[in-house]
Structure 1
Amino acid sequence: MKDMQSTGKVKALFLLMRPSQWVKNIILFLPLFFAQEIGALDRLQNVALLFAGFCMLTSGVYVFNDLMDAAEDRLHPAKRFRPIAARKVSPVEAVGFMLLLYGISAVCFNFIHTSSNLIWLLAGGYILLNLAYTLYLKQVQIIDVMIVACGFIIRLEAGATAGDIELSHWLIIMTFILSLFLAFAKRRDDLLNFMETGQVSRKNITGYTIDYLNVVLSFLSSIIAVTYILYTLSPEVTARSSEYLYVTIPFVLAGIMRYLQIILVEKSNCNPTDILLQDRTLQLTVAGWFVVFALLIY
């Protein structure tokens, strides 16, 4: 019986970390990839340690978020199964586990070979930003998605610092706009849940409408497409990598159109992470873009 309880507790703690969300931290490798330095083993090792550290760091942030939102999560059809909301992990256990995750992330950061202290500042800034987000800023419409997008820019800057890469303004712009797009898509998912169940899983969700979010998503998807096209045709980019980057444009357009088809036509779950992990067409589109892009620049 004790063994079964221990196994259940370990499983609950593992789920509390939200390992499916670690895929977002792949963005840490983008500076190396786009700078054509992915084969530099010393830099790759640094970013790999950063990835491990950020997975623990972001998991710690998720624990704090779940701890603060436990009461609201119990009203959500899916979130009510989260370990803290389901009372499988007590608040005291959650706090201790969160501190442990932060400690492990600090150990990973400590082994990164860089003369800059920027990684520590970025990690601390990420925690503070998400504390402010969880405690108040997520209740403010539009500002909440801006905060989410800033979190991805922090990751991007950390990856560039660990890999000793000068960050391109193109990469920053595209990452920020894409992050906004995905964050607004998540808000649309929350709003649909509210309309179907009447349960408010996010206090500021009533400040949005489906029509407004559809317009925003269409607007941002257009900006993403135009920005990527300009990026592939930019003289500074083509001179550094390949003049044939424009052949990857169809993959980006197909990915955007497929995502919009999923949420607007099929009216499926809008959670970006879930869609990427479940939709085979989108997976093939992303994989195709990666393969062709990598062949062109490497």
Structure 2
Amino acid sequence: MSTTSTALVAPPTRLGGLVRTARPRQWVKNVLVAAAPLAAERYDGGTLAATAVAFVAFCCAASAVYFLNDVLDANEDRAHPDKRLRPVAAGIVPESAALGGAAALAVAALTLTLAWQPVAAGVLAAYLLINVCYCRWLKHVPIVDLAVVSSGFLLRAVYGGAMAAVPLTRWFLIVIGATALFAVAGKRFSELARLGADGLTARPSLDQYSVSYLRFVWQAAGTVAMTVYCLWAFPAHSLTIIPFGLAFLRYAWHIDRAAAGAPESVVFGDRWLLGLGGVWVVLFVAANG
């Protein structure tokens, strides 16, 4: 009788589960804390240090929210074909440990912020409070769930500005807010277009939307973002309008194909989007030089 060798796979550890629950792949979203200093043309050492601290603090805050979310959604996740593998749902990380991790990370984020720039602590506290409400109730309320998720991106940018003591203009806030809604509605559109046709949705709130409605939202938000950016950019930064607009159209192409369910994967998986982003940065910096 022939025998075959099998590879031994070590069982998941609690430490590994805690790391997975923190969602380190999602930390890329926190680079938005650098948006305000970049827009304000602030590249000095103090600003760079403040931005680095802001990034670390917001990573802690965002991960605290992920820990809480996984505890509150554990029962639903266990019935989901993919989410059942999340460490809390799978029993790798006890709920008590996840709640303790959430509290520790939230305290760490607030402590770091208070030590660096106390005025920014209010922004971070607002982010945490809004997301606690989202995890507990608001994720099931149509329209409000889109607004809350979008506000998370806006608050990242506002927090970065507060940490670096950079004043924020109405142009900046509108462009960031509209772009965030564009991406969030596009994500929901992609999820519903891919899964809704089979009567299966990854989120309960998706059952209350239609593909046509979500298409209207992401198209309207994208139009607002591009229009306001053009009004701000002309004439000093006119050349940056070209890569900015093309990047929006490229991302909208992904949404229209229902391929924007994971925004970070879209951005980093599309070399054309990355190239347009690089061209935009070069033109923006050159215009300020």
TM-score using structure 1 length:
0.87
Counterpart CA distance in 2 for 1:162 and 1:134 is: 26
TM superposition shift of 1:61: 0.6
Counterpart CA distance in 1 for 2:62 and 2:28 is: 11
1:255 is matched with: 247
Instruction: Evaluate the alpha carbon distance shift between residue 83 and residue 295 of structure 1 in structure 2; reply closer, same or farther with a 3 A threshold.
Output: farther
TM superposition shift of 1:8: 2.9
TM superposition shift of 1:293: 1.3
2:3 is matched with: none
SS in structure 1 at match of 2:167: coil
Give the alignment partner of residue 16 of structure 2, picking from 5, 11, 14. Answer: 11
Counterpart CA distance in 2 for 1:97 and 1:77 is: 25
TM superposition shift of 1:211: 1.7
**Equivalent runs, 1:139-288 vs 2, <5 Å:** 139-233=140-234, 243=236, 245-265=237-257, 267-288=258-279
Instruction: Evaluate the alpha carbon distance shift between residue 42 and residue 269 of structure 1 in structure 2; reply closer, same or farther with a 3 A threshold.
Output: closer
**Unaligned residue ranges in structure 2 (runs of 5+):** 1-9
Counterpart CA distance in 1 for 2:97 and 2:122 is: 27
Instruction: Evaluate the alpha carbon distance shift between residue 224 and residue 78 of structure 1 in structure 2; reply closer, same or farther with a 3 A threshold.
Output: farther
Counterpart CA distance in 2 for 1:269 and 1:81 is: 22
TM superposition shift of 1:278: 1.8
Q: Report percent identity of matched pairs.
A: 28
Instruction: Evaluate the alpha carbon distance shift between residue 269 and residue 85 of structure 1 in structure 2; reply closer, same or farther with a 3 A threshold.
Output: farther
TM superposition shift of 1:230: 0.7
Judge conservation of contact 1:76–1:199 (CA < 8 Å) in 2: no
Counterpart CA distance in 2 for 1:100 and 1:74 is: 25
2:139 counterpart of 1:138? yes
Which amino acid in the other structure matches residue 192 of structure 1?
A
Give the alignment partner of residue 280 of structure 2, picking from 286, 289, 294. Answer: 289
How large is the RMSD of aligned CA atoms in angstroms? 2.0
Give the alignment partner of residue 109 of structure 1, picking from 99, 109, 113. Answer: 113
TM superposition shift of 1:269: 4.2
TM superposition shift of 1:81: 2.8
Counterpart CA distance in 2 for 1:126 and 1:169 is: 20
Counterpart CA distance in 2 for 1:17 and 1:192 is: 28
Deviations 1:125-154 (A, max 9, x none): 111111111111111111111112222232
Which amino acid in the other structure matches residue 207 of structure 1?
Q
Instruction: Evaluate the alpha carbon distance shift between residue 73 and residue 189 of structure 1 in structure 2; reply closer, same or farther with a 3 A threshold.
Output: farther
Counterpart CA distance in 2 for 1:86 and 1:276 is: 30
2:116 counterpart of 1:118? no
TM superposition shift of 1:197: 4.8
1:83 is matched with: 87
2:72 counterpart of 1:56? no
**Unaligned residue ranges in structure 1 (runs of 5+):** none
1:72 is matched with: 76
